[in-house]
Structure 1
Amino acid sequence: MGTGEQLVTIAAVLLGALTTHVTNHLMERNRMKYQLTTRWDDKKLDAYDGYVDRVRSCIFLAVQLYETKEGLREREQPDAEILAEMKEAGHLRGHAFERVMLLGGDGVVEAAHDLNAAVAQVDWQANGKNRRNPGGLARPQPCRLPLGQLVPRSRSCGPGCQRQRDRRTAPGARPPASASSLRLMT
């Protein structure tokens, strides 16, 4: 084998090593990028889940207070205790809302603001106050919570979110609750 053939062989080996190195580097870079995206998507989903849980607990307490005041439910605890629980639940909802504001996109934050406004109306009505009638108990009116806006907007958060949804809707998995079907009559 001549010197020229040996140089061609060495060059081919070096070229193969270089292309292998570049390919591995690009693949590793894409894998890390995907992992970072997925990690943030998981944090977003946890924030959205926590926020919706806090909203539901606030609504439950408000409905309990309203039904107790109206005589629709037996009094299990004094109004002062329910009001204290509502205050604590509102505080926790505020923290969950701040997480959504930090992690969510513009559409999600806007929907969360709308949902906060609707929950505030439910609280005011449960306490016997509303914007139109600050002194007396408000007439019962349906209040459609804008959870239906929060859910679709939160689903547009990236490729990791799709993976999470696929895992939740896999065969044998419990189907997610329909958030848009939540209707509260207070």
Structure 2
Amino acid sequence: MATQIITLVGVLIGALTSYLATAIAERAKFRRLIATRWDERKLDTYIEYVSCIKTIQRAAMDAGRARDQRKDASDALAEMEESENRRSVLFETFVLLSNEKAATAAHTVNQRTWELLGMARIPSSGMAELRSIPLVEALNVLHEAARSDLTISGHAPAQ
């Protein structure tokens, strides 16, 4: 009888150990899956936000170039304004998903973007005035912060 009880206790301990090991492994797997999903969402948001900023910058430069050539800048300005509206919405998602360093860098990018928008909206602004706004430098800082947040090593400066 005693050997049967010892065997039964051994089986119960083995089953409990197996259950706990499986539960811990499944919980860790679930956490990794959730973290990966958020990282994918974060990466998509970062890419979309930076792409929108680049569209704003390109449209503003197109407007400045058109003015320098004494051409109509209205199409470029319309594209710039449309992208600014999209950037505004994307920024909220960016801040919700990012860490503090990336959010701070994005705030700086917003400031430089607003400077660019303000300058581009002035009818006499050409390429020289628009190029003086350090948006690319602010984007480089944002890229670094985003890579850090996503734990991506290595980098190449923005062009």
Q: Specify if TM > 0.5.
A: yes
Contact 1:65–1:126 (CA<8 Å) still a contact in 2? yes
1:147 is aligned with what amino acid? L
Two-structure CA RMSD over aligned residues (Å): 2.3
Q: Point out the structure with the larger helix share.
A: 2
Q: 1:62-141 residue pairs with structure 2 within 5 A?
A: 62-71=60-69, 75=71, 78-128=72-122, 137=125, 140=129, 141=131
Deviating runs (4+, > 4 A) in structure 1?
none
Give distance in 2, aligned partners of 1:18 and 1:4: 21
Residue 34 of structure 2 corresponds to: 36
Residue 3 of structure 2 corresponds to: 5
Give distance in 1, aligned partners of 2:158 and 2:27: 42
Taking structure 2 as the reference length, the TM-score comes to 0.85
Structure 1, gaps ≥5 residues long: 130-135, 170-175
Residue 144 of structure 1 corresponds to: 134
- Number of residues of Structure 1 aligned to a counterpart in Structure 2: 155
Give distance in 1, aligned partners of 2:140 and 2:125: 28
Taking structure 1 as the reference length, the TM-score comes to 0.74
Give distance in 2, aligned partners of 1:15 and 1:52: 55
Pairwise CA distance, 1:144: 2.6
CA distance 1:142–1:80, shift in 2 (3 Å)? closer
Deviations 1:63-104 (A, max 9, x none): 000011012xx85xx422222221111101111111101111
Structure 2, gaps ≥5 residues long: none
Give distance in 1, aligned partners of 2:51 and 2:8: 64
Give distance in 1, aligned partners of 2:27 and 2:109: 39
